[in-house]
Structure 1
Amino acid sequence: MLQPIPRRVIDFHAHFVVPGARSEAWARWEEEYAAQFGRAKLELWRERQRKNIAARWRGLADAEDRVQSEEEAVARWKQQVDVHGLNAIVFLTGGGNDRLSRIVRQYPGRFIGFAHHDPFAPNAADELERAVTELGLRGYKVLAPVLSKPVDDPAAFPVWETAERLGIPVLIHFGILGGGGGIAGADNCNPLRLERVAQGFPGVPFVIPHFGAGYMRELLLLCWSCPNVHVDTSGSLQWMRWVPGDMTLRSVLRTFLESVGPERILFGTDSSALPRGFIRMYYDELQRACWSLNVPEEHQDLIFYGNAARLLRLPPETAWKPGEGTAAAMAVAAAVGEGGPRA
């Protein structure tokens, strides 16, 4: 039977999938594509993406076709948190700010939610303020490649000012987006577009996921320029196959440890659909890489837990204690066949 992870862990990068929900910016990008090239080509592009993504899921279970209720999905995600022994999981998206707030409030301290809306939308700064102060969300997520303007356009400065005043982390996806056949060369794919913003708002801890998603060199330079920029380890890291050089998770982790240091690296999985749930494989692979590099235990604790807890300003009492609720959760999971992905 699957055992809980024997260490403190916060998954800083997950998504609560809501059927039919799309990022505002991503939906707008698709509409612009359809207006320029036609809806038939958009559907062809979508279908090719689905096939490319499915071929690269490394043997993990496919997402379920059936539409489950929100209540069922919440319960199953809580099982995942308990079965794997996670201190907390951060849902960066979840069908809109109001819906995600409703979801994470059901398990405060274990479920954490981020706001996710277009920084160039009207009243975007006010919406971020509302999401944090009224809805209880604890950060802000942005998909840079599909934004309508450069990420450093002054039109978004009120959003960054709000984030700085509220003291929340901002996670911005740069790099390739959408799986094979997705977006790779948009102006906002380059993390260096954030340099002016990160330097202008030094009180904002920015987090760039997936080790830069194909823009690793640019991310390293951004981290050199801006000490408030962090990285996360999330995702399948398939981008390593598409860039020159013999890259592995071990070699990439070593590079970031030797440059930005363990204080600016956060563990994440990019887990989303059920029945996959929490992708334990990604934790196992990162743990093995840490061991093979002889990363000191105190540095591993920062990567897997401490850095996320610090950025999220979590109180000490949210820490999960070994054995707390685990036996019952594992029994329930076994009964429904929810033992986790193949690792």
Structure 2
Amino acid sequence: MNSRAPAGQVLSREPWAGAVILDAHAHVGPYHRFFVADPSGEAMVRVMDRCGVAGCLVSSLLAVELDADSGNEETAALCAAHPDRFAGYLVINPWQDPAGQLARWRDHPSFVGIKLHPDLHEYPLDGPRYAAVWEYAERTARPVLVHTWAGSPFDDLSHVDRVATDHPRAWILAGHSGVLPSSFDRAIDVARRNPRVLLELCGSHMHGRAIAEMVRAVGAGQVVYGSDFPFIDLRMSLGRVMFARLSEEDRAAVLGGTMLRVLSRPGPTGVPLLDRIGTSGTLAQ
């Protein structure tokens, strides 16, 4: 066990009361590929409270899989019901009117970023149907969470590298950091070349040594905690960060500080993209 990790609270099953935890990769709704006992917002909040997670950035699984418009409505409804705990990613399906979705939701207060899943939509990340997304991301400073999978013809890390090179003002979260352990070094290389690429940590193959290596290689300012909650329990992914060999300063950045910094940058109106989460480990009132 890493003696430098915050083991006391974890082992005594007390909610984390340290730096703000912001889950940068969560979802809303059921998912046909995984069983989720209760995907409701209320159930998610109960788990978040038990763990001390201040907030989650969510995208709709309905939007990811079938119906972007209806799914984005689902995300907006969850954020409206729990405005101090959830903020949304707008899912853009390249086959379902990307420009229209952006036009409809771009000024909605629930959404602070965009979610892309090129693998499920079977369309390459660097394809022209995503052009409106990258123009929007560079213009507004809103981050784009991209599913990545090593070796995919649609969202391999090489696709992230090309998009980041072509759109250097866009903030890109490399979801899962390529998923497979064999991809983690490549993810680090992409992040080194592109300072606005952030390595996101959720995935069944992620582990504490890989997290520590990512932070050592690119700095905690390019590494963010995410879980895939609720169909992957956030407690597992949170434990990986809690017990990774990190300084407390770096751990705080990974858990939420890095993402809060990105979301505190002024948007197109000069107002920060997200101001709902406090800076002392408690929710803003």
**TM-score between both structures, scaled by the size of structure 2:** 0.78
Counterpart position of 2:202? 234
Provide closer, same or farther for how the CA distance between residues 317 and 279 of structure 1 changes in structure 2, counting only shifts above 3 A: closer
Q: Residues 86 and 320 of structure 1 are in contact (CA less than 8 Å); yes or no, is this contact kept in structure 2? A: no
> Structure 1: which amino acid aligns with 2:135?
E
Q: How many Å separate the matches in 2 of 1:98 and 1:315? A: 19
Counterpart position of 2:242? 287
Provide closer, same or farther for how the CA distance between residues 2 and 102 of structure 1 changes in structure 2, counting only shifts above 3 A: same
Of 105, 109, 131, 2:105 maps to 131
Larger Rg: 1
Q: Residues 210 and 237 of structure 1 are in contact (CA less than 8 Å); yes or no, is this contact kept in structure 2? A: no
Structure 2: 5+ residue stretches without partners = 1-11, 63-70, 265-272
Q: 1:316 offset after TM fit, Å? A: 5.8
- RMSD, matched Cα: 2.6
Q: How many Å separate the matches in 2 of 1:194 and 1:260? A: 16
Q: 1:144 offset after TM fit, Å? A: 2.3
Q: Residues 241 and 255 of structure 2 are in contact (CA less than 8 Å); yes or no, is this contact kept in structure 1? A: no
**1:264 and 2:276 aligned:** no
Q: How many Å separate the matches in 2 of 1:134 and 1:322? A: 26
Counterpart position of 1:63? 36
> Structure 2: which amino acid aligns with 1:100?
T
**1:166 and 2:133 aligned:** no
Structure 1: 5+ residue stretches without partners = 21-49, 54-61, 177-184, 239-248, 325-343
Q: 1:114 offset after TM fit, Å? A: 0.8
Of 131, 134, 151, 2:125 maps to 151
Counterpart position of 1:4? 15
**TM-score between both structures, scaled by the size of structure 1:** 0.66
> Structure 1: which amino acid aligns with 2:99?
A
Q: 1:9 offset after TM fit, Å? A: 0.6
Q: How many Å separate the matches in 1 of 2:47 and 2:139? A: 34
Identity of aligned residues (%): 22
**1:224 and 2:236 aligned:** no
Tell me the secondary structure at the aligned position of residue 272 of structure 1. coil
Counterpart position of 2:179? 213
Q: Residues 179 and 205 of structure 2 are in contact (CA less than 8 Å); yes or no, is this contact kept in structure 1? A: yes
Q: How many Å separate the matches in 2 of 1:234 and 1:319? A: 23
> Structure 1: which amino acid aligns with 2:79?
V
Q: Residues 230 and 265 of structure 1 are in contact (CA less than 8 Å); yes or no, is this contact kept in structure 2? A: yes
* Alignment deviations for residues 214-246 of structure 1 (CA, whole Å, 9 cap, x no partner): 2223322221221111111113226xxxxxxxx
Counterpart position of 1:191? 157
Q: 1:205 offset after TM fit, Å? A: 0.7
Counterpart position of 2:270? none
Q: Residues 54 and 282 of structure 2 are in contact (CA less than 8 Å); yes or no, is this contact kept in structure 1? A: no
Q: 1:168 offset after TM fit, Å? A: 0.8
More helix by share: 1
**1:301 and 2:227 aligned:** no
* Alignment deviations for residues 229-265 of structure 1 (CA, whole Å, 9 cap, x no partner): 1111113226xxxxxxxxxx23312321222111010
> Structure 1: which amino acid aligns with 2:42?
A
Counterpart position of 2:7? none
Runs of 4+ in 1 over 6 A off after TM superposition: none
Q: How many Å separate the matches in 1 of 2:172 and 2:74? A: 24
Q: Residues 198 and 206 of structure 1 are in contact (CA less than 8 Å); yes or no, is this contact kept in structure 2? A: yes
**1:81 and 2:48 aligned:** yes
Q: Residues 192 and 221 of structure 1 are in contact (CA less than 8 Å); yes or no, is this contact kept in structure 2? A: no
Q: Residues 112 and 138 of structure 1 are in contact (CA less than 8 Å); yes or no, is this contact kept in structure 2? A: yes
**1:104 and 2:113 aligned:** no
Counterpart position of 1:331? none
Provide closer, same or farther for how the CA distance between residues 105 and 259 of structure 1 changes in structure 2, counting only shifts above 3 A: same
Tell me the secondary structure at the aligned position of residue 83 of structure 1. helix
